[in-house]
Amino acid sequence: MDLWITEYQTKNQKISCRVKETLHIEKSKYQEIVLVDTDEYGRMLLLDGAIQTTVKDEFVYHEMISHVPLFTHPNPKKVAVIGGGDGGTIREILKHKSVDKAFLVEIDQRVVELSKSFLPEISAALGDERAKVCIEDGIEFVKNQKNEFDVIMVDSTDPVGPAVGLFAKDFYRSIHDALGEDGIFVAQTESPFFNKELISSVFRDIKSVFPIARLYLCFVPTYPGGLWSFTIGSKKYDPMDVQEVITDGMGCKYYSREVHKAAFVLPPFVKELLE
């Protein structure tokens, strides 16, 4: 049998992976959730047809969304992830000994449940006693917090469907207020090849809300274009000036002190999007 799964990354470009086994397909209250086992990337989670994470390449994204802000903050204790129901970001956060509480705020309970069943390598940390899973709308959650968090990470899907509000200026304002006086916020901000306008407008908005705004890059083979961006809004600490980075014993496969620094070096075509 020749079974393939395809994501339309744009109207004119697709990525396909050979499927070893179809594990689960369902329509939840919010989206279509698909789990397949692929020959090239191992188990893979798709939401509304978009590849979210695979066992083989998830480490890049999860290490980069979490360790960059967490090593920028000198003593992160209370952290929240908005979205990220697969648990990969929480797993990386909990590698930081300073963290005593990590909230996962995911709107779709089924993403959490299915990740627990089918992606144990990614989701296992959700069972840690320092992790608290809240099934609710991230926008509402953040609105109700004031001066509470050291770091907030927005681990969202693409800016369509349930995630649209997570790319809005009002949301960045509520995040600003939910953070402590030296808090840091990071959001996944899509592909510099295919989402140029989004990157520009998100950067502008974050810059208007936070004194420090920075964009950094990493490489994720299964995401559109491969090159992927994150944007940081910070009240006090500049992630480009990071000093202490000690990753001993954390088992990082992509993140390191050198990669942290290098990730902020932007090619001119990306820099241009921020002007």
Q: Does the protein bind ligand AG3 through residue 224 (CB under 6 A)?
A: yes
Helix, strand, or coil here: 135?
strand
Nearer to ligand AG3, 65 or 184 (CB): 65
Among candidate residues 55, 64, 42, the one with its CA nearest the CA of residue 86? 55
CA–CA dist 177, 95 (Å, integer): 26
User: 238 an active-site residue?
Assistant: no
Calpha distance 187→170 (Å, rounded):
14
Q: How far apart are CA 111 and CA 86, in angstroms?
A: 7
Total of residues contacting ligand AG3 (CB under 6 A): 17
Interface of this chain with ligand AG3, residues 119 to 158, rule: CB under 6 A: 155, 157-158
Contacting range for ligand AG3; rule: CB under 6 A; set: 18-26, 80-88, 131-139, 243-251 = 80-88
Which of 36, 41, 43, 53 forms a contact with ligand AG3 (CB under 6 A)?
53
Beta strands 4-10 and 13-27 are antiparallel
Which parts of 13-52 interact with ligand AG3 (CB under 6 A)?
50-52
Annotated catalytic residue, options 48, 155, 158, 205: 155
Q: Closest distance between ligand AG3 and the C-beta of residue 158, in Å?
A: 5
> What's the half-sphere exposure (Cβ side, CA atoms, 13 Å) at 131?
25
Q: Mention every residue, 6+ apart, whose C-beta is less than 8 A from residue 229.
A: 188, 189, 190, 191, 192, 199, 215, 216, 217, 270
What is the smallest separation between the CB atom of 46 and ligand AG3, expressed in angstroms? 8
Minimum Å gap between C-beta 89 and ligand AG3 is 6
At closest approach, how far in Å is the CB of 38 from ligand AG3? Answer: 14
For ligand AG3, the closer CB: 45 or 179? 45
Q: At what angle do helices 196-209 and 169-178 cross, to 10 degrees?
A: 40
Residue ranges in contact with ligand AG3 by CB under 6 A: 7, 9, 50-53, 61, 84, 86, 88-89, 155, 157-158, 188, 223-224
Residues serving a catalytic function are 155
